[in-house]
Structure 1
Amino acid sequence: MQDALNEIEGVKAELNFAAGTLILEIQESSMEEFVIKRILQLEPEVQIVSTEEATEEENEEGRGRELIKKITLSGFFFVTGLIIDYYFFPGVRNAGAVTSGFWIVFFPYLVAYIISGHDVLEGAVKGIRRLDFFSENFLMSIATIGAFLIGEFPEAAGVMLFFKVGEYFEDRAVGHSRRSIKSLLKIRADYANLYRDGESIQVSPRDVKVGDIILIKPGERVPLDGEVIQGETTADTSALTGESVPRRLGVGDTVLSGMVNQGGVILVRVSRAYEQSTVSRILELVERAASEKAQTERFITRFSRVYTPVVVSLAIAMAVLPPLLYHTKLFIPLFSHVQTYQEWIYRSLVFLVISCPCALVLSIPVAFFGGIGAASRRGVLFKGANHLEAFRKVHTVVFDKTGTLTEGVFKVVDIKPFNGFTSDELLRLAALSEAHSNHPIAKSILDAYGGSIDEGSIQSYEEIPSYGVRVIADGREIVAGNDRILHLDENNIQHDNCVTEGTVVHVALDKRYAGYIVLSDVIREDAAKT
């Protein structure tokens, strides 16, 4: 289908093996109807949807159940045929169609063959209409129908049945990999809160235009790229950057679709349409990943165009030449027994079945896609098969630590008190100052403290973006944050050590430096240690 559509001027067709779709780019909208008719001529069962209507959900489970149903029914009739053939009417197939036993044996094999192989036969007929005589469907059909004609019913039905079993396992492998890849990037927001006249309305992100204002509540995923025009918050950017430390956002800062709002309510002016947003471009990259064929895949595709005609030619020669040569006096001494057409036609049919190129042509894409899926289950996303193939030449790997070699979860690893404060006092002051914060670092400090916090003792709480927090508790001022908060004009807290490397929380009580707390990310259990 891809080749046939690419022959149409102004049409670009791209087969996406990963998504099981064919993506079309049509230069002129007036050609759409013609292209759709052409597609339905080639494959009447194809479902055509626009990108706006496309969803992430696929009917993979339904297809899997349908395949299992076909395999079960076909297998039942196939086993029934074997039992009748070898236990009740042994040898009746050699007696010919004149006996009733022949048809009793033939019927269950035929039913098994039709149930498991009707789609292969339909594909062969469609190929013949397109003058495509070298497809795997055509070769399978010739081989199995020929097996029926020479009385080898179990071989004919068995080939179709086991082909369907192989198709089921192939679908399972591809579907599992596809789901693994998509689960890695579940970053698309289902709705956007369009803000107009002081009210918000839930709409599809596709319906929001550049310049519109959207409202994003705590816990919601950012649906579109834009600029903060009101409010302050922290955002989880790990889905986009892998960075586990939330980013503080304020008026004038850029937000990207796929981030998760963790703090307050913000208003954002949209700067890019949905189709051009960060999340859409990432998802498009994933969808097109399997279309980037590796060099091995491209070679197999070219090779199969030569391989298939050669196999058919050899099969024909195998069926015809030995009997002909046997009847030539010059070659009779080369044969040990009488050479019949039935014997060599059977051998040529076997040769056709075992040489069918479908396994050869499909095995390489399935192997690459399975590799991409296996990597995605471990948190690694390859942009395409060509990148996966190139990976075998890599001799040095440089990792981003946070969220890759580590869990992306902070843990208190060191407490350094100063000016007479104890470690327990320092940790309690830090926990008290972070009691109203939903920042992951605050949660880590509260977890490390472990005790109960009397939130009623907190008279005021002020969050200073990009610095830290200032709290009044029991009439005393607690300041906690990075080193910069100690240097603010209103603070100017005296301290001897400006620790800025790593994740450090400095604490001061009534402008007296109490010390600092060091936090570190937790190393993944499966990360190799060197």
Structure 2
Amino acid sequence: MVIKEFILEGLACASCACLIEDEISKIDQVNLASLNFATKTLKVQIKDINSVYIVTRQIKDIIKNLEPDVLVFEKQPENKKHIYKNDSFKKNINVLVGAFIFVIAILFNFPSKVKIFLYTVSYIFIGSDVIVKAVKNLFRKKFFDENFLMSIATVGAFAIHEYPEAVSVMLFYKIGEFFQNLAVNKSRKSIQSLIDIAPNFANLKTSDGSKKVSPYEVNVSDVIIVKPGEKIPLDGIVIDGNSFVDTSVLTGESTPKSVNINDNVLSGYINKNGLLTIKVTKEFKDSTVSRILDLVENASSKKSPTEKFITKFSKYYTPIVVLLAISIAFIPPIFVDIGNFDKWIYRALVFLVVSCPCALVISIPLGFFGGIGAASANGILIKGSNYLEALTDIDIAVFDKTGTLTEGVFEVCDVKIDDCFDKDFVLDYVAVAESYSNHPIATSILKYYGKKTDTSLIDNFEEIPGYGIKASIQGNKILIGNEKLMKENNICFESTTKIGTVVYIAINDIYAGYIIISDKLKEDSKKTIDNLKLLGIKNIMLTGDNENIAKYICDTLELDKFYANLLPHEKVEKLEQLYSKNLNKKILFVGDGINDAPVIARADVGICMGALGSDSAIEASDIVIMTNSLYKLVEAIKISKFTKKIVIQNITLSLLVKGLVIILGSFGIATMWEAVFADVGVALISILNAIRILKFKSS
């Protein structure tokens, strides 16, 4: 399978964008086509690499047929910007000239024929491009696009001698279209500014000094220099210098972070004050900033249920309204109000003007994409509008403990070794065994031990997920882990009820003591749980830790329930039980992405905490919180609810106004002026309303 991306410069029609996406999806060799109206980016999955050229030609032909003025460029990996020239200035001059002639025709008392001539000339100046597009679309069998419907409506007004209204409606339509395009472009720029975090260049260190190059030209292990005020262009390790970096574009956090030699830094950070020399660890296409941009820009391919409904609704709405218009134009004057064709044709023309669902087709995708952009600006990556909308319906939040509700930074707080063993001897063996593990508990034990370990003493080593470590050191069998590990190996041990993570030790199948490790709660854990309760969400914790520490955390945070002593696969089983007990309830799971991939994948919405720079965590989850702040979960839910609120407002406004105008028009109360407002006016209001999402601030 091959993925191709195209930029559609000049794409201004949202309903046409839906049609383009639909037609390209029908190509035999295309698996999936997704057109993001906000970024004008078309992403196509092609089944066979040998079909790429043919499919590309078919795609360009479809776009040329549906939108002749749109220019199609294959998206360049370097994000090169194409210069698009259009004739909008010329069109605006034509509209101004036409408006001037129209005003003269109204103000001065010319003879009737002169007035008709002036109205006709002004109409041609104002609406010639609409008419030309309508005629072209007629040959392409596009009967329900806005140009064709507006042309029929205004030409029909001319036919029944409503000259001033025909011109004024076209003028109002063009003015509305102008402001509508301004609003769409403003929305696009606002969204782009939120996700425009890609660096433009890198200072590559060479034998002759440094030279400015594209980030794509830098390879792994190359050395780059980042000056104060510049973006860090690629992921890497600081090999010289120290500074503070602004991480807000990735994390949404305003506090600068200190970096020194041997610290990891990520592309997208902004160097604040010091000169940094960085050894590159990832190519730009694999860098954090590149992955984030890819996730956000392609989020539109996973459409929300509301977007799918609107797309399907718009396919049926326009034909139905047009059929009603035809019925109104001919049935009453033939069977009821016999011979009064002008009156009923006028009412039918009102129907035609409101028959385009532009307000819905433009504002709904812009709203969801704006929500994804707003979340991204707050350090929350949402992989699709389907997940954004799913957040609004969450009933139960399930949390992992370590690294999610707690800091995940362990410290040894107590050590008790059995009297029959020498403490230093036991700790030496424990430290040697733990030196092979990357688990945070192992790290804390080694930090407490504080000496260098000799790993050559290890004869055999096995780390058992959910249990602990089994090792052989100089012929001695060592077991280090939880109660389950002791019971599994039939070790008679002394259980403790002290608060903390208890690591039991056995040497040669004899209990040797325990180490207690503490992990403190995050500062914002209680605030997060309290806010989730206010949102009506039930909170449950799943942990592999012991009953005592789990109960302590549950009581402190006032969780609704907890389950302790769980192995990774048992967490999935427990989640399945929650689903069976809570039918039709939506469940999200929040974990740190280390051992939680199966349960993250099973939940309705899987959220990964603190995954900045973690490729596997980003891949596994539906939503990625780029920091360790748990309260970002509340922000994500509030953004989703605000987005849904705006979307519902736009749907309601559009359908109510259009429905009202249709009803009033059928009784001859609403004129074509009201009909144009119901079309472009409501679309403009809906777009401006959708832009509010980008300015969302969590309380």
Report TM bin, short chain.
0.5 to 0.7
1:44 maps to amino acid: P
Residues 168/365 of structure 1: CA separation in 2 closer, same or farther (3 Å cut): farther
1:341 maps to amino acid: F
Equivalent positions of 1:188-203 (< 5 A) are 188-197=198-207, 199-203=209-213
Q: Work out which of the two has the higher radius of gyration on C-alpha atoms and give 1 or 2.
A: 1
Secondary structure of 1:48's match? strand
Q: In the alignment, is residue 6 of structure 1 matched against residue 15 of structure 2?
A: no
Q: In the alignment, is residue 136 of structure 1 matched against residue 159 of structure 2?
A: no
Task: Measure the CA separation in 2 of the matches of 1:528 and 1:6.
Answer: 38
Q: In the alignment, is residue 306 of structure 1 matched against residue 316 of structure 2?
A: yes
Deviations along 1:442-477, one digit per CA (max 9) or x if unpaired, are xxxxxxxxxxxxxxxxxxxxxxxxxxxxxxxxxxxx
1:325 maps to amino acid: F
1:15 to 35, 50, 58: 35
> 8 Å contact 1:228–1:250 — kept in the other structure?
yes
Residues 78/272 of structure 1: CA separation in 2 closer, same or farther (3 Å cut): farther
Question: Displacement, 1:45?
Answer: 2.1
Partner of 1:187 in structure 2?
A: 197
2:25 maps to amino acid: N
Secondary structure of 2:73's match? coil
Residues 285/63 of structure 1: CA separation in 2 closer, same or farther (3 Å cut): farther
2:214 to 204, 207, 214: 204
Question: Displacement, 1:112?
Answer: 3.1
Partner of 1:43 in structure 2?
A: 67
Secondary structure of 2:237's match? strand
Task: Measure the CA separation in 1 of the matches of 2:224 and 2:379.
Answer: 32
1:14 maps to amino acid: S
Residues 68/395 of structure 1: CA separation in 2 closer, same or farther (3 Å cut): farther
Question: Displacement, 1:264?
Answer: 3.8
1:39 maps to amino acid: I
Task: Measure the CA separation in 1 of the matches of 2:263 and 2:376.
Answer: 33
Partner of 2:645 in structure 1?
A: none
1:15 maps to amino acid: L
Residues 79/126 of structure 1: CA separation in 2 closer, same or farther (3 Å cut): same
Task: Measure the CA separation in 2 of the matches of 1:115 and 1:366.
Answer: 32
Residues 40/216 of structure 1: CA separation in 2 closer, same or farther (3 Å cut): same
> 8 Å contact 1:173–1:370 — kept in the other structure?
no
Deviations along 1:92-148, one digit per CA (max 9) or x if unpaired, are 3xxxxxxxx2xx223332333333333333332343333232223222222222222
Task: Measure the CA separation in 2 of the matches of 1:197 and 1:20.
Answer: 42
Task: Measure the CA separation in 2 of the matches of 1:179 and 1:300.
Answer: 24
Residues 30/180 of structure 1: CA separation in 2 closer, same or farther (3 Å cut): closer
> 8 Å contact 1:214–1:267 — kept in the other structure?
yes
Deviations along 1:322-380, one digit per CA (max 9) or x if unpaired, are 23225xxxxxxxx5xx533333223222222233433454454455567778x689979
Question: Displacement, 1:33?
Answer: 4.1
Higher RCO (CA 8 Å, separation ≥ 6 residues): 2
TM-score after normalising by structure 2: 0.47
2:103 to 79, 87, 112: 79
Task: Measure the CA separation in 2 of the matches of 1:70 and 1:395.
Answer: 56
2:145 maps to amino acid: S
Secondary structure of 1:190's match? coil
Question: Displacement, 1:223?
Answer: 0.6
Task: Measure the CA separation in 1 of the matches of 2:125 and 2:200.
Answer: 41
Partner of 1:297 in structure 2?
A: 307
Task: Measure the CA separation in 2 of the matches of 1:121 and 1:54.
Answer: 36
Partner of 2:342 in structure 1?
A: 342
Residues 379/114 of structure 1: CA separation in 2 closer, same or farther (3 Å cut): farther
2:106 maps to amino acid: L
Residues 125/391 of structure 1: CA separation in 2 closer, same or farther (3 Å cut): farther
Secondary structure of 1:49's match? strand
Secondary structure of 2:72's match? coil
Question: Displacement, 1:287?
Answer: 3.0
> 8 Å contact 2:195–2:376 — kept in the other structure?
no
2:22 maps to amino acid: D
RMSD: 3.8
Partner of 1:30 in structure 2?
A: 53
2:267 maps to amino acid: S
> 8 Å contact 1:220–1:260 — kept in the other structure?
yes
1:317 maps to amino acid: S
Partner of 1:236 in structure 2?
A: 246
1:88 to 76, 90, 110: 110
Residues 307/65 of structure 1: CA separation in 2 closer, same or farther (3 Å cut): same
Task: Measure the CA separation in 2 of the matches of 1:82 and 1:18.
Answer: 40
1:145 to 155, 161, 175: 155
* Runs of 5+ consecutive residues of structure 1 not aligned to the other structure: 93-100, 327-334, 398-500, 503-525
Secondary structure of 1:222's match? coil
Residues 88/290 of structure 1: CA separation in 2 closer, same or farther (3 Å cut): farther
Deviations along 1:17-68, one digit per CA (max 9) or x if unpaired, are 21234344545343334533443343332222333264579879x8886675
Residues 392/236 of structure 1: CA separation in 2 closer, same or farther (3 Å cut): same
Q: In the alignment, is residue 158 of structure 1 matched against residue 168 of structure 2?
A: yes
1:295 maps to amino acid: P
Equivalent positions of 1:243-258 (< 5 A) are 243-258=253-268
Question: Displacement, 1:197?
Answer: 2.1
Task: Measure the CA separation in 2 of the matches of 1:17 and 1:369.
Answer: 9
> 8 Å contact 2:250–2:377 — kept in the other structure?
no
Task: Measure the CA separation in 2 of the matches of 1:354 and 1:51.
Answer: 36
Question: Displacement, 1:71?
Answer: 4.2
Question: Displacement, 1:227?
Answer: 2.6
Question: Displacement, 1:70?
Answer: 4.8
Partner of 1:433 in structure 2?
A: none
Partner of 1:418 in structure 2?
A: none
Task: Measure the CA separation in 1 of the matches of 2:698 and 2:53.
Answer: 57
TM-score after normalising by structure 1: 0.61
Residues 133/68 of structure 1: CA separation in 2 closer, same or farther (3 Å cut): closer
> 8 Å contact 2:36–2:42 — kept in the other structure?
yes
Partner of 2:598 in structure 1?
A: none
2:34 maps to amino acid: E
2:110 maps to amino acid: F
Task: Measure the CA separation in 1 of the matches of 2:299 and 2:135.
Answer: 33
> 8 Å contact 2:249–2:377 — kept in the other structure?
no
Residues 55/371 of structure 1: CA separation in 2 closer, same or farther (3 Å cut): same
> 8 Å contact 1:181–1:381 — kept in the other structure?
no
Secondary structure of 1:110's match? helix
Task: Measure the CA separation in 2 of the matches of 1:63 and 1:9.
Answer: 36
Task: Measure the CA separation in 1 of the matches of 2:206 and 2:176.
Answer: 56
User: Percent identity between the aligned chains?
Assistant: 45
Secondary structure of 1:227's match? strand
Equivalent positions of 1:94-109 (< 5 A) are 101=113, 104-109=114-119
Question: Displacement, 1:301?
Answer: 1.7
> 8 Å contact 2:122–2:167 — kept in the other structure?
yes
Equivalences, count: 378
Partner of 1:227 in structure 2?
A: 237
> 8 Å contact 2:199–2:231 — kept in the other structure?
yes
Question: Displacement, 1:258?
Answer: 0.7
Partner of 1:112 in structure 2?
A: 122
Residues 64/124 of structure 1: CA separation in 2 closer, same or farther (3 Å cut): closer
Residues 9/33 of structure 1: CA separation in 2 closer, same or farther (3 Å cut): same
Deviations along 1:408-438, one digit per CA (max 9) or x if unpaired, are xxxxxxxxxxxxxxxxxxxxxxxxxxxxxxx
Q: In the alignment, is residue 281 of structure 1 matched against residue 274 of structure 2?
A: no
Residues 246/355 of structure 1: CA separation in 2 closer, same or farther (3 Å cut): closer
> 8 Å contact 1:290–1:385 — kept in the other structure?
yes
Task: Measure the CA separation in 2 of the matches of 1:159 and 1:353.
Answer: 9
